[in-house]
Amino acid sequence: MKQLTTIMLIALLAATHIANAQVKPASGQSTIQITVDHLNRSFIVYLPKSYSTAQKTPVIFLFHGGGANAGSMLNISDKNDFTAISERENIILVALQGIDKSWNDGRQTKANKQNIDDIKFVAKVLQYMELNYAVDTTRIYATGISNGGFMVSRIGCEMGNRFAAIAAVAATMGSDTPYATCSPTFTLPVMYIHGTEDPLVHFNGGAKTIGAEGAYVSHQKVLEKWIIINKCNPRPEVTSLPDIAIDGTSISKEVYAAGKSGAEVIGYTVNNGGHTWPGGKQYLPKIMIGRLSRDMNACEVIWDFFKLHHR
């Protein structure tokens, strides 16, 4: 009888384990806590209603700007934001939270001055997602704005082999780290979107930004860095987007065709645009951050770019 009871208990535990392994996580937004270098770190996972453990699902990592938070990246646009795209296209969103609302992007940010290892944080979150969700590891992407965009550049240089493509808005690269040291053995499709009248991260580069000491390169120079890495055609195909909004801005698109690797480089120049997310929100007055362009929805443009690429 004792042996029978033991066998039944083992069978029950095994059945419970199998049932738990098949449980679908709740759709919508949930906050996850992990420990990295003895620090509590957090990130938001957004699951679409169509998510299924039976299907490998693409993932977009989102990086907020300095002084912002993870939640702000989920709803950065007034309409057709990343959550809407997630529901429509069946994509998992992962919005990470920086220490003191800051990222160690290689420049002298708040996180940098505390020696925060945000590359390790991203690696740990990647590991967590792959262990706990049905992730398509060939279709993991990263995008961010400002300090978050600079962080995406650093991720591209140092661990871009884990991502299928990256996109940065209102950001380039720190002149020392990662620009001077960025020479990966892999290629990576990249997109940069930048306003010519950005008062915080200057289109032509600068010595520092608000919240970050340390020089950074221009929009053109960061494109040229990736053109060399990806062995792209250095002569771009340039087109102008339709000027659909009467907002004082216009947008041109430069496509540097991919070499044998298939990793293209795309730049969007937002003429008269400020430190803003095209199609997003005028989160501060124009006198502080410049003009918002509504000639395109950056969320949609970035996803259209991402979905063309697999690792």
Question: In the numeric block, which tokens belong to residue 8?
Answer: 């039944």
Residue 20 has pLDDT above 60, yes or no: no
**The total number of residues written for the chain in this structure:** 311
The predicted structure's pLDDT at residue 259: 83
Mean pLDDT of 141-163: 98
The predicted structure's pLDDT at residue 5: 40
Q: Under the phi-then-psi rule, with left for phi > 0, alpha for psi from -120 to 50, and beta for the rest, what region is 106?
A: left
Residue 24 has pLDDT above 80, yes or no: no
The string of pLDDT tens digits covering residues 206-249 is 999 988 999 999 999 999 999 999 999 999 999 999 999 999 99
CB atoms near residue 87 (< 10 Å): 16
Query: pTM for this structure?
Result: 0.91
Query: Comparing C-alpha atoms, which of 107, 106, 165 is closest to residue 139?
Result: 165
The predicted structure's pLDDT at residue 80: 80
Instruction: List, in order, residues 6 or more apart from 195 with CB less than 8 Å away.
Output: 170, 203, 249, 270, 272, 273, 274, 275, 276, 290, 291, 293
Domains of the chain, start order: 26-306 (3.40.50.1820)
The predicted structure's pLDDT at residue 196: 98
Residue 158 has pLDDT above 80, yes or no: yes
Residue 260 confidence class, pLDDT cut points 50, 70, 90: confident
Residue 295 has pLDDT above 80, yes or no: yes
Residue 181 has pLDDT above 90, yes or no: yes
Mean pLDDT of the chain: 92
The predicted structure's pLDDT at residue 23: 52
